[in-house]
Amino acid sequence: MAVNIAIANQKGGVGKSTTAVNLGHGLTGKGKTVLIVDCDPQGQSAALLGIQQEPGLFNLLIAEMPINQVIRSTNRKGLDIIPSDKKTASAQVTLAAQRTPITYIQDALKPIQKKYDYVIFDTAPSIGDIMGAALFAADYVLIPSAVDFLSSDGVIKLMDTLRDIKKDYGWTGKLLGIIPTFYDGSTRESQAILNELTEKFKDGVLNPIHRATILRECAAYGQTIFEFDKDSRSAQEYINLIDYVLEVTK
Q: In the chain, where are the structural domains located?
A: 3-249
Q: In this structure, what are the phi and psi dihedrals at residue 82, rounded to the nearest 5 degrees?
A: -100, 105
Q: In sequence order, which ranges of 42-176 are alpha helices (DSSP H)?
A: 44-48, 56-61, 87-97, 104-109, 129-137, 149-169
Answer yes or no: is pLDDT of 152 > 80: no
Averaged pLDDT, 86-98: 88
The answer as to CATH 3.50.50.60 being correct for domain 3-249 is no
Residue closest to 181 by CA, chosen among 12, 41, 43, 38? 12
pLDDT > 70 in the chain, percent: 100
The whole-number pLDDT of residue 95 equals 86
Beta strands in the chain, from DSSP E residues, in sequence order: 3-7, 34-38, 72-76, 79-82, 118-122, 140-146, 174-181
Q: Quote the CA–CA distance of 113 and 110 in Å, as a whole number.
A: 5
The model's pLDDT over 171-202, given as tens digits with 9 standing for 90+, comes to: 999 999 999 999 998 888 888 889 989 988 99
Answer yes or no: is pLDDT of 43 > 80: yes
Mean residue pLDDT of the chain comes to: 94
Averaged pLDDT, 46-65: 95
Averaged pLDDT, 82-95: 91
* Cβ proximity of 12 and 125 under 8 Å: yes
The whole-number pLDDT of residue 166 equals 96
